[in-house]
Amino acid sequence: MTVSLSLTPVRRPDGSPVLEAVGEIDMSNVDAFAAALDEGITSATPLIVDLSAVEYLDSAGLTVLFARAEQIELIANPLLGPLLTISGLTRITQVHGLGSAAGEQQDWTIPPEAGTQPTCP
C-alpha cells in the first residue's frame, strides 16, 4: 500500500530550487521521492528539501537523503529532529527548522550515560 506523499518543486524568489514534501516518506514511495530529488539537484546550488510537512520518514527515506547529503539542505519540523540527529544526517548536511519557538536549536544528543552497558556484580 502506497502512503500519501505530495512532492512539489518550486523556486524561491532568488531562484533557489526547493522540493516541498507533504505526507509520509517510506519504502512504498521512496522511488518517487528519489526521482524528485534527482530532478531538482543542480551543480549550481544545493536543493532545499522542505520536510516541514512530513509526518513520517523511515529508513528508506533516510537512505535517499544520505546519498544526496552533499547536494541538499533540509528544512524539517521538530518531530523529525531526533531521527535526523541520531542518524547523523545533521552532521553532514545543513538542517533548518529544528529549533524551539524561541529559535534556539534543540539538543537531540544522546547523553553519554545512555550508551554505557550495565555491569554485572
Whether 60 is in a domain gets the answer yes
Number of domains in the chain: 1
Tell the burial category of 56 from Cβ atoms under 10 Å away from its Cβ (0-12, 13-18, 19+): middle
Confidence of residue 2 (pLDDT cuts 50, 70, 90): low
Whether 9 is in a domain gets the answer yes
Rounded CA-CA distance 117/108 in Å is 21
Confidence of residue 6 (pLDDT cuts 50, 70, 90): very high
Whether 103 is in a domain gets the answer no
Confidence of residue 1 (pLDDT cuts 50, 70, 90): low
Residue 64's domain comprises 5-98
Q: What percent of the chain has pLDDT over 90?
A: 72
Nearest to 6 by CA among 55, 41, 39: 55
Whether 120 is in a domain gets the answer no
17-25 β-sheet, strand order: 5-11, 17-25, 47-57, 72-75, 95-96
Whether 88 is in a domain gets the answer yes
Nearest to 21 by CA among 47, 46, 54: 54
What's CA 49's distance to the chain center, in Å? 7
Whether 74 is in a domain gets the answer yes
Mean pLDDT of the chain, nearest integer: 85
Q: Cell digits for 53?
A: 510537512
Whether 89 is in a domain gets the answer yes
Q: Cell digits for 103?
A: 529559535
Q: Which residue has the cell 523556486?
A: 11
pLDDT in tens, 71-85: 999 999 999 999 999
CATH number for the domain including 57? 3.30.750.24
